[in-house]
Structure 1
Amino acid sequence: MLSTTTMTPSAAMVAKYIDHTLLKPEATADDVTALIAEAVELGTYSICVSPSMLPLRIPAGADLKVAVVCGFPSGKHHSAIKAAEADLAIEQGADEIDMVIDIGAVKAGRFAEVQADIAAVRAGVPAPTVLKVIIESAALTDAEIVGACQASVAAGADFVKTSTGFHPAGGATVHAVRLMKQTVGDRAEVKASGGVRSFDDALAMIDAGATRLGVSGSAALLSGASSAEPAGSY
């Protein structure tokens, strides 16, 4: 993990935290081709796309992972459907799955059901496939965030992720990322997604404990590296 208290990370360093994302319903195959080219140019860790965009052509020799969403964006799909969707995505070339839980189940305190939902997808895509669990943190209370993170870890998730970026309640906050990291500890990692638009936003999320960032405007974010606040200002 980068230390933002002793140094201001470079654009290249932060790029390796980014899942370069395109999840708009109107996205075309040409848009995804452009996304891949931009990701390679920027040096991002991965791209994140909708499952219908698979399979993809990643340039030979490119160090670029493919993340695919599952049960997106509502999470109101049957667990068996989520598991099948995730399994097909891996079969078609995905390296990572970003699944959405049933937020209503969290709001109702049905954490056993939440854990079972995640476990169903985990069973279908076992390690080394990376499984990220989107909890829609902006729509939850602190206690619900903690419960959702605990269920995710218990079900074998590799990451907990703040947001789809589509919920009207909003996206990632420093508070939510910090709480999520405090909850999962070293048992899982945290992805901050939704509203991470500037380089300073990125540094703040990393400082709070995020080890992955979901960003759609990656070029604009990384271009702000030279104007980032000095280290230690957080």
Structure 2
Amino acid sequence: MTIAPYIDHTNLKATATPSDIKKLCQEAMEYHFYAVCVNGCYVSLAKEALQNSNVKVAAVIGFPLGAMSTEAKIFEAKDCVKNGADEIDMVINIGWLKAKKNDAVRDEIKALKKAIGGTILKVIIETCYLTDAEKEIACTLSMEANADFVKTSTGFGTGGATLEDVQLMKRVVGDKAKIKASGGIKDKATALQYIELGVSRIGTSSGPTLL
């Protein structure tokens, strides 16, 4: 099977330059990846670089810590959509989740989804910082807030995606939300394992190598 349609080709490094983003977009078109995933300042550049292709632009919000105010996240998301983002990957407020402020976590996701309307919303729960019980709660809150995807990781935490976490997430969300595995996926065999478990998208900076 071809894994290209599953891949969000990603460069979220602090050091990423405009030429790095153009290269990312060029590779995404060449390999027919589903999307590129970039920081907000590069959304319009990526949109322009991809204008004659079917490759989508995903932008990260509240990245990578998730600890910004809800208002800041909403502004950032709306700004990215205005600049051409087709999808938004937001980081939950991990501290709120750890403190069992479930209503606040759910309300924030819901507010972002409302602000961006029909734009796809992926919710990064950053599994490396959570207990299994917290992962389950994060997935449930994301579904209750009408998110389109739950996503494992930023790739900037202490760990990335694991097969066990994806199995847990799939058990919780079923068919009510899609799953994106992200962080540390660097070879094709691993990517195929995630796809077999039911993920709809794989976030990786190693797309060309995976193929």
Do the structures match in fold with TM over 0.5?
A: yes
2:37 is matched with which residue? Answer: 48
Q: Give 1:1-234 correspondences, 5 Å limit.
A: 9=1, 13-56=2-45, 57-127=48-118, 129-168=119-158, 170-222=159-211
Unaligned runs of 5+ in 2: none
How far the C-alpha of 1:61 sits from its partner, in A, is 3.1
Following TM superposition, the consecutive aligned residue runs of length 4 or more in structure 1 with deviations greater than 6 angstroms are: none
Structural RMSD (CA): 0.9
Q: Number of matched residues?
A: 209
Aligned mates of 2:50, 2:179 — CA distance in 1: 28
Query: Using the alignment, how far apart are the partners of 2:32 and 2:62 within structure 1?
Result: 28
Structure number with higher relative contact order (C-alpha < 8 Å, ≥ 6 residues apart): 1
Partner amino acid, structure 2, of 1:194: G
Give % identity.
47
Counterpart Cα distance in 2 of 1:59 and 1:187: 30
| 5+ residue gaps, structure 1 | 1-8, 223-234
Q: CA deviation digits over 1:194-231, x for unaligned, max 9?
A: 01111011011111221100010111111xxxxxxxxx
Q: Which letter maps to 1:82?
A: K
Decide whether the 8 Å contact of 1:70 with 1:85 is kept in 2: yes
> In 2, distance between residues paired with 1:157 and 1:59?
26
Contact 1:80–1:120 (CA under 8 A) maintained in structure 2: no
Residues 104-152 of structure 1 show CA distances to partners (whole Å, capped at 9, x for unaligned) of 111122211110110111111011x100000001211111000000000
Asked whether the 8 Å contact 2:43–2:57 carries over to 1, the reply is no
TM-score (norm. length: structure 2): 0.97
Deviations 1:85-120 (A, max 9, x none): 000000000000000001111112221111011011
Structure whose alpha-carbon radius of gyration is higher: 1
